Amino acid sequence: MASVIYGVWDGKIYDNRDRDIFEVAPLPELAGFDFFNEGNVIKAFLGDRGFFVFEPGVDLLDALVRYAAKAAEESCGKCTPCRMGTSLVRDKLAMLHRERFDTGLLAETEMLARHVRQTSLCGLGQSCMTPLLSALDHFRDMLAPAPAPARRDDGGRDHDRRGDDRQAANGQYAMHYVTAPCIEACPAKVNVPRYIDYIKDGKPSHSLGVILQKYPMAATCGRVCVRFCEQACRRNMVDEAVGIKVLKRYVADLEQDISRQWFSPDMVCTRQPDHLRVAVVGAGPAGLSCAYHLLLKGYPVEVFEARDEPGGMAASGIPSYRLPKEVLRGEAEIIGRLGGRIHYNARLGRDYTLDDLMGRGFKAVFLGLGCDKGRLLGVDGEDPDLSGLQTGIDFLLKVHECLQGNGCMTLGGVVVVVGGGNVAMDCARSALRMGADEVHVVYRRDKTDMPADIEEIEAAREEGVVFHFLTNPGRILSEDGRITGVELVSMLQGEPDANGRRSVVARPDSARVLRCNEVIAAIGQQVDEDSISQGDGVRFGRRGFLDADGTTLSTARPGVFAGGDCYSGPSTLIKAMANGLKAARSIDDFLHYGRVRFFPRSRMRRIIGDFRALSNESIETPVENKYRVRVRELDPEVRKRLFDEVEKPISTEEAYEEASRCLRCYRIYSVITESPVPDSAL
Amino acid sequence: MHDTMQATINGTPVTFQENDTILEAARRGGHFIPTLCELSDIDHAPGTCRVCLVEIIRPGSESPVMVTACNTPMEPGMAVRTRTSRVREMQRLQVELILADHDQDCATCTRHGDCELQDVAQFVGLRQSRYTRPDWTRSRPRDETSPAIIRDMGKCIRCLRCVEVCRREQGVDALVFTGTSLQADIGMRNNLSQGASDCVACGQCILVCPTGALAERDETETVIDFLDDPEVITVFQFAPALRVGFGEEFGLAPGVNVEGQIITALRTLGADVVLDTNFAADLVIMEEGYELLGRLKEGRRPTFTSCCPAWVNFAEKLYPDILPFVSSTRSPQQCFGALAKTYLPEKMGLDPKRIRVVSIMPCTAKKDEAQRTMFRQDGARDVDVVLTTREFARLLKREGINLAALEPSTFDNPYMAEYTGAGAIFGTTGGVMEAAVRTMYSVVNGRELERIEVEALRGFESVRTATIDLGGDIGEVRLAMCHGLKGVRAIVEDVLAGRADFDFIEVMACPGGCVDGGGHLRSKKHYQPYARKRRDAIYEIDRQMPRRQSHENPQVQRLYKDFLGQPLSHLSEELLHTHYIRRRTEIKQTINDIWRDITMSTLVHSEFDAAEPAASRKRKE
Ligand SMILES: Cc1cc2nc3c(=O)[nH]c(=O)nc-3n(C[C@H](O)[C@H](O)[C@H](O)COP(=O)(O)OP(=O)(O)OC[C@H]3O[C@@H](n4cnc5c(N)ncnc54)[C@H](O)[C@@H]3O)c2cc1C
Ligand code: SF4
Ligand code: SF4
Ligand code: SF4
Ligand code: SF4
Ligand code: FES
């Protein structure tokens, strides 16, 4: 736990300079803050809301020079004060530090810094002078030069693009991290404001390039992502979140044809030795993302997929009215274009074991198996062999096969879908499209508790799906092996628990019967246990998912890594793809160092997460309301019988307009450490 | 209707509506706030210059906050102060910072005296420039690859007006914002040079650029060389739109017809032969009209006009598939040039080799057009040099000529100076179409249109359509007039997709037509403020003309009788028609190229960043 010697954060001043360090009570928010990486003391921290000094003898001015240099580098260059001011402040601070400390120059620097903070257009300029100004306001004396030995002449100007500033002055090293609320909220840490900027700038290829740094499936993500970023978007405080997802779809669709030519095996810069082969099991989002990153790193990669097509749940689960299959397929082709091979109909546990893979010369394996086994309801009268009863996953797979022309099913009459998540919504809306006369969704809690996106619920309602909230199936009714109905019970809400969710209990004597022909259980998914055999050396965790280390994704068996739904439980596309990236990095390290190295950026994320706990987000000045682009949709009456894509693309003009809504909430965070922060591959 | 709300500016109450900006409210209330990047005529407030600072005190708060007026909304009860000493100081510092990497060589700058940056420096009372860094200025690029437009980033203040115009008004979208930090500039899409890019040289960006960052290539020097050389016979022509948009420069009212003064000015300069592009406009109607009638009879439709060179560039660079639909008739400028070196010397007994043709055009793309290889005879250009209206003004000033003080005079050349009302209206959107309809009607029916002014063709919407009965064996024709390339793009796409049903489509690349051309005089802080006045003046010229149909032009008749034979004759084809080339740029790149170019600090695959550039950018066609 770190003890603050002095500093300012979010307007609060901490000054313990006149005390002995052991007398200072550590800040509980900064638990685990002593070292950045092992043995590397964090001497100071600078960020958008101030700075902290944790060690005696820190050269604060040097830290500020480095921070200012990063700010000057990060300035987008559009607005005057930030473009000019950050560079001028950097140069003046460097001069103060290196050549002559003179109070006149310091006052001029301060004037410029205030100007940058008060008049800059975006979050970067508005926040990047805060450490300097809070030092000037409260700890001016700490900026005067100590009677120190001669300093190294680096002026804080040299820094590589990863923000790891290798040059030391007085035993101080800096590592910078630039982020924004939307970036931090994104599991894959996509640089959202950057790709939005590139749209504004008129460079859609670059915009897509920013996204492709993180995963290959941009058009897919631009259609079905659950948008953690938009929830965190600061624009919510003005009017509505920036349409981050729709902009992603826009660039991915716009560049779709040419981006196919962007990838080829010979564009990869570094080739890894031929024997460092990697096997990826499962061609879902996690597996594809892992394979993509490894291929870009130059590894020979082979993918083994149980089914006959790539995409995992994005292909067989997510219905085509939300994600047209050709979009997904086009993006999965990138693997082949990069020289990766995908073997289809190759199921781990049935066709081969992990030992087989290792025996065939694979040095590392990534397991991206997903959760492709549905769960039944577990109520009376439920017999897996009943005709008319199926899990949501199985149902959607059948719908998918049917649309692919592989043997069609017929659906008619009344369909009851049990569950409140997106899978349930997909089942209900697909059932309508397959010809059901009536579709009912039965959910045990209330509407506001539904995990499904509100947009999905609304879309289903518009299409005519009937919802029964606070209702649970009590019993399945059947005759001659066919479902005839389901007994429903009303639920009563109890007191909210710690998470604000209210427990529910069955209301006595509320049972009633809903006649139906089909029951679809969309209440959860599991990993197929048959995939993993005893000898594989991979363990299941408590919740029935694969066990792996949270930071490295390595399983109990060395060289075997797991990620995506099979590790986290049913989750989201973006989390699965983020896991794929993380695993690729771990595998890269494993194959080169036999272990997974320290990853500075992850560490930085945890640190700023802690600091965020000390900050309040706000918007200080009035901002013009500009409402979010409305995505046009197919008419519910038309679309409810079609699997055509419901959401229409936005126009170029709308994209420019939407992009201009982003406030660019960039922030720079720096740690000052005692020794250099180790380099790491990704 | 939204409710009206109350606030104060400098203590005076103002009313406003939801989402009104402080700047809008202040302007309405007569409070001046210096601005630089903002341009209300095109609804542009990117908030980049940060000069329009004001202090606000929000209700419930004590402390004043500094905001930019152009993009901060008014709030009820807000107190705005536009001229406290803090505001003035910070505005001053802002302009001082803009100058830090600005190449402040005002005396040599094309924009000197017409520069919004100079103005704003005065408005904020700037008296020093402490932060100027020549090392920063020097590193900024200058692109001289286009025959028409020079892009000098050393003078760019990153107001983004050019990007906005090229994107939103013109729909060409050739300009991008490129680089970050001190390297942030305006560039061309796909890292191309201006010359190789999709820029069609329309010059609309120059009209909005507040500084000397965008300018026409100045060729006044060449013209003075010609005038000075006793061996050279100078033949001048000037465009239909020039005469209604030039007086302002010399303090005359906008829209005043200064044709007579221009003729005097040219003679004062020492021009040997002063002629009129309007004559060539009448000629174009003959050629294009007959061409169109021929194509209609063959059932080939639609036909696009071809007199606008920015449009021709647009078609060649962006939609080469449309080229077979573009009329083969050369523009008036080039028809004129071809005749000025053949017919004219023959008639006047001059040595064609000594002739230099100088045109004065409200158009930057004409510079580009004049140097096309198909407009040369024996290697010599038909039109030797093109001056934009702005350069012509510069030329007169260099020669100490004050247009306003000149007595008007008239053309006296018996061969290529006379024009009809039809030639005169070429300068405005709808004009070419109207002129063509007048003549075609008469060719088909052997008599004149009853109402010579075809109201159906006039208007300001960027795409207008009309159906006109030409009678005879032609019957009804479907016409479209579009101006501003954004509307043009829509029509072209419709035609290519088979969605459009037209016979004849008039295209002018500049919104408004040549009267608002990219080479015309520009107005500070405004975009095309005189469109209406100039247009009215053009129609007034037409109304005053004794002859208002191209085929009635006696000098055109004489040209056919003495020289060309008839429209579309062999000689006409050779001198007055042309062909087009497909010039679409196909960009081939890999993700490497893109990643190498991306600036951000969260690159995962930064190894690509350092890689050698693959020689992968290729041009095709
Ligand atoms: C109906 C539905 C709708 C959804 N909607 C959304 C949404 O809108 N937005 C969102 O973000 N997420 C959504 N999700 C979640 C998202 O699809 C998953 O989180 C994501 O696909 C998980 O990726 P994964 O690669 O971990 O697993 P999967 O996508 O499940 O892929 C696993 C792959 O491994 C293969 N495999 C399995 N076992 C073996 C084996 N033994 N050997 C070889 N291969 C094997 C499978 O065939 C599959 O191809 C949805 C999920 C479902 C089911
Ligand atoms: S406004 Fe832009 S930068 Fe800020 S959180 Fe939203 S998307 Fe991110
Ligand atoms: S753009 Fe304006 S300020 Fe800059 S050099 Fe030219 S005249 Fe001077
Ligand atoms: S000249 Fe026209 S096309 Fe070229 S950059 Fe300027 S506005 Fe765009
Ligand atoms: S080139 Fe001119 S119009 Fe374009 S951004 Fe620069 S100063 Fe503004
Ligand atoms: S005029 Fe307001 S920021 Fe430029």
Q: How far is CA A104 from CA A61, A110, A257, B304, in A?
A: 16, 10, 58, 67
pLDDT at A292: 97
Please give the residue that has the higher pLDDT: either B15 or A499.
B15
Please write the tens of the pLDDT for every residue from B352-380: 999 999 999 999 999 999 999 999 999 99
Lowest average pLDDT, out of A29-38, A216-225, B454-463, goes to: A29-38
pLDDT at A22: 82
Inter-chain touch B184–A163, beta carbons under 8 Å: no
Cβ-based neighbour number of residue B609 at 10 Å: 17
pLDDT at B557: 97
Please write the tens of the pLDDT for every residue from B67-114: 999 999 999 999 999 999 999 999 999 999 999 999 999 999 999 999
pLDDT at A260: 77
Instruction: Compute the distance between CA of residue B78 and CA of residue B64 in angstroms, rounded to an integer.
Output: 10
Average confidence (pLDDT) over B583-596: 88
Task: Give me A306's structure tokens.
Answer: 């149980």
The response to whether residue B174 sits with its C-beta less than 6 Å from ligand 4 reads: yes
* Element holding B303 (H helix, E strand): strand B303-304
CA distance, residue A322 to nearest chain B CA (Å)? 28
- The nearest alpha carbon in chain B to A116 belongs to B94
Instruction: Name the band, by pLDDT with cuts 50, 70 and 90, for residue A615.
Output: confident
Please write the tens of the pLDDT for every residue from A44-56: 999 999 999 998 8
- Identify the CA nearest to B362 among candidates B514, B221, B212, B258: B514
Best interface-test mutation with B: which of A70, A82, A83, A87 has the largest number of B CBs within 10 A?
A83
pLDDT at A4: 92
Instruction: Name the band, by pLDDT with cuts 50, 70 and 90, for residue A267.
Output: confident
**Has residue B565 got a pLDDT over 90?**
yes
Instruction: Name the band, by pLDDT with cuts 50, 70 and 90, for residue B448.
Output: confident
**CATH 3.40.50.1780, applies to B220-576:** yes
Inter-chain touch B598–A79, beta carbons under 8 Å: no
The response to whether residue B273 sits with its C-beta less than 6 Å from ligand 4 reads: no
| Cis bond upstream, residue B324 (ω within 30) | no
DSSP state of B477: E
Q: Which residue's C-alpha comes closest to atom 5 of ligand 3?
A: B106
Nearest to A77 among B56, B184, B601 (CB): B184
Inter-chain touch B604–A213, beta carbons under 8 Å: yes
SS3 state of residue A401:
helix
The pTM score is 0.94
CA distance, residue A83 to nearest chain B CA (Å)? 5
b/e map A276-312, b = 16+ CB within 10 Å: bbbbbbbbbbbbbbbbbbbbbbbbbbbbbbbbebbbb
Average confidence (pLDDT) over B571-589: 94
3-state secondary structure A184-200: HHCCCCCCHHHHHHHHH
The response to whether residue B510 sits with its C-beta less than 6 Å from ligand 4 reads: no
pLDDT at A680: 58
Instruction: Name the band, by pLDDT with cuts 50, 70 and 90, for residue A159.
Output: very low
Q: Which residues of B touch A258 (CB under 8 A)?
A: 587
Inter-chain touch A121–B48, beta carbons under 8 Å: yes
**Could you say which ligand is closest to the alpha carbon of residue A119?**
6
Please give the residue that has the higher pLDDT: either A606 or B328.
B328
Task: Indicate where chain B has its CATH 3.10.20.740 domain(s).
Answer: 4-83
Tell me which range, A411-420, A622-631, A634-643, is most confidently predicted by mean pLDDT.
Answer: A411-420
Average confidence (pLDDT) over B219-224: 97
pLDDT at A160: 38
Please write the tens of the pLDDT for every residue from B481-499: 999 999 999 999 999 999 9
Percent of chain A past pLDDT 90, that is, above it, reads: 75
Inter-chain touch A212–B604, beta carbons under 8 Å: no
What are the boundaries of each domain within chain A? 6-179+669-673, 181-256+598-614+651-663, 269-375+524-596, 376-396+407-523
CATH class of A376-396+407-523: alpha beta
- Same topology, domains A269-375+524-596 and A376-396+407-523? Answer is yes
List the 25-64 stretch of B: residues with Cβ below 8 A of A: 46-51, 53, 56, 58
Inter-chain touch A262–B607, beta carbons under 8 Å: no
**Has residue B232 got a pLDDT over 80?**
yes
Q: Which residue's C-alpha comes closest to atom 5 of ligand 4?
A: B199
Inter-chain touch A87–B609, beta carbons under 8 Å: no
Query: CB contact, 8 Å: B533 with chain A?
Result: no
Ligand 1 nearest-atom number relative to CA A322: 8
**Could you say which ligand is closest to the alpha carbon of residue B205?**
4
Average confidence (pLDDT) over A324-343: 95
pLDDT at B619: 34
CA dihedral B442, B446, B452, B454 (to 10 degrees): -50
Nearest to A77 among B65, B179, B600 (CB): B179
Average confidence (pLDDT) over A222-235: 95
pLDDT at A171: 80
Residue type, A476: I
Inter-chain touch B90–A80, beta carbons under 8 Å: no
Q: Please report the DSSP string for A254-298 in residue order.
A: HTHHHHGGG--GGG-S-PPPTT-EEEEE--SHHHHHHHHHHHHTT
Instruction: Name the band, by pLDDT with cuts 50, 70 and 90, for residue A148.
Output: very low
Nearest to B181 among A77, A264, A296 (CB): A77
How many A from CA of A80 to the centre of ligand 3?
Answer: 16
Instruction: Name the band, by pLDDT with cuts 50, 70 and 90, for residue B609.
Output: low
pLDDT at A147: 55
Q: Please report the DSSP string for A592-654 in residue order.
A: HHSSPPP-HHHHHHHHHHHHHTT------S-----PPPPPPB--HHHHTT--S-SBPPPPHHH
Please write the tens of the pLDDT for every residue from B383-412: 999 999 999 999 999 999 999 999 999 999
Q: Which residue's C-alpha comes closest to atom 3 of ligand 4?
A: B199
How many A from CA of A456 to the centre of ligand 1?
Answer: 19
Query: How many contacts (CB atoms, under 8 Å) link A and B?
Result: 190
The response to whether residue B365 sits with its C-beta less than 6 Å from ligand 4 reads: no
**Has residue A150 got a pLDDT over 50?**
no
**CATH 3.10.20.740, applies to B4-83:** yes
Average confidence (pLDDT) over B426-445: 93
Instruction: Compute the distance between CA of residue B24 and CA of residue B2 in angstroms, rounded to an integer.
Output: 16
For the four alpha carbons of B600, B602, B605 and B611, in that order, the dihedral sign comes to positive
- Identify the CA nearest to A217 among candidates A351, A132, A310: A310
Instruction: Name the band, by pLDDT with cuts 50, 70 and 90, for residue A682.
Output: very low
How many A from CA of B48 to the centre of ligand 4?
Answer: 21
Residue B33, φ and ψ in degrees, nearest 5: -130, 125
Nearest to B72 among A75, A201, A622 (CB): A622
Are B487 and B509 spatial neighbours (Cβ–Cβ below 8 Å)? no
**Has residue B615 got a pLDDT over 90?**
no
Please, what is the average pLDDT of chain B?
A: 94
**Has residue A167 got a pLDDT over 60?**
no
Query: What's chain A's Rg over C-alpha atoms?
Result: 28
- The nearest alpha carbon in chain A to B92 belongs to A115
Q: Which fold has domain A269-375+524-596?
A: FAD/NAD(P)-binding domain (3.50.50)
Average confidence (pLDDT) over B51-66: 94
**Has residue B213 got a pLDDT over 80?**
yes
Average confidence (pLDDT) over A397-418: 89
Ligand 1 nearest-atom number relative to CA A285: 25
Residue type, A223: R
Are B375 and B348 spatial neighbours (Cβ–Cβ below 8 Å)? no
Pocket test for ligand 2, best of A178, A233, A247 (most atoms within 8 A of CB): A233
Q: Which residue's C-alpha comes closest to atom 4 of ligand 4?
A: B199
CA distance, residue B593 to nearest chain A CA (Å)? 9
Q: Which residue has the tokens 């058009």?
A: A219
Are B479 and B465 spatial neighbours (Cβ–Cβ below 8 Å)? yes
- Identify the CA nearest to B176 among candidates A595, A206, A616: A206
Please write the tens of the pLDDT for every residue from A523-548: 999 999 999 998 899 999 988 999 99
Q: Estimate the crossing angle of helix B277-297 against helix B431-445, to 10 degrees.
A: 60
Percent of chain B past pLDDT 70, that is, above it, reads: 97
| Domain at A6-179+669-673, CATH from 1.20.1440.230, 3.30.1490.100, 1.10.1660.10, 1.10.10.10 | 1.20.1440.230
Q: Which residues of B touch A111 (CB under 8 A)?
A: 93
Please write the tens of the pLDDT for every residue from A482-505: 999 999 999 998 888 777 778 888
- Identify the CA nearest to B363 among candidates B403, B315, B340, B331: B331
Lowest average pLDDT, out of A407-411, B140-144, B243-247, B468-472, goes to: A407-411
Q: Which residues of B touch A191 (CB under 8 A)?
A: 600, 602
CATH class of B97-216: alpha beta
Instruction: Name the band, by pLDDT with cuts 50, 70 and 90, for residue A1.
Output: low
Instruction: Compute the distance between CA of residue A101 and CA of residue A109 in angstroms, rounded to an integer.
Output: 12
List the 65-94 stretch of B: residues with Cβ below 8 A of A: 65-68, 71-73, 75, 78, 90, 93-94
